[in-house]
């Protein structure tokens, strides 16, 4: 489930070059989002991240590292704040 203003970035938009080797050092990386994930408003997911199934990413979070299955993660950078959860769309 996706809220608004979500940004998923697989790259940095500009090349960063090592001055010693003249090689680019910031290549693009895939982003993987598992099944049944809830991304709240204003979430940003950066390159190389995997978000595990049944997880929730809190409003305004910036995800810089992978998040395991069945977790709530929030913050800048996002950190797991609760484990062993799932979610349902209807309010019960």
What is the chain's Cα-based Rg?
15
The pLDDT, as a whole number, for residue 33 is 98
- pLDDT 10s digits, 41-79: 999 999 999 999 999 999 999 999 999 999 999 999 999
| Mean pLDDT, rounded, for 1-9 | 97
Question: Residue 4 has which token pair?
Answer: 């608004």
Give the fold, CATH level 3, of 1-92. Answer: UDP N-Acetylglucosamine Acyltransferase; domain 1 (2.160.10)
The whole-angstrom separation of Cα 47 and Cα 10 is 4
- pLDDT 10s digits, 8-32: 999 998 999 999 999 999 999 999 9
The pLDDT, as a whole number, for residue 75 is 98
For residues 11 and 28, the answer to whether their CB atoms sit within 8 Å is: yes
Q: Is the pLDDT of residue 92 over 90?
A: no
The pLDDT, as a whole number, for residue 29 is 97
β-bridge mates for residue 63, sequence order: 45
Domains in the chain: boundaries: 1-92
Q: Is the pLDDT of residue 34 over 90?
A: yes
């Amino acid at each position: 489930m996706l809220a608004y203003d979500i940004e998923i970035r697989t790259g940095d938009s500009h090349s960063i070059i090592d001055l010693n080797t003249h090689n680019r050092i910031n290549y693009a990386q895939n982003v993987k989002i598992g099944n049944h994930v809830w991304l709240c408003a204003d979430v940003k997911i950066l390159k190389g991240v995997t978000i595990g199934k049944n997880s929730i990413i809190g409003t305004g979070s910036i995800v810089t590292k992978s998040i395991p299955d069945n977790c709530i993660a929030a913050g800048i950078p996002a950190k797991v704040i609760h484990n062993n959860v799932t979610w349902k769309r209807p309010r019960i």
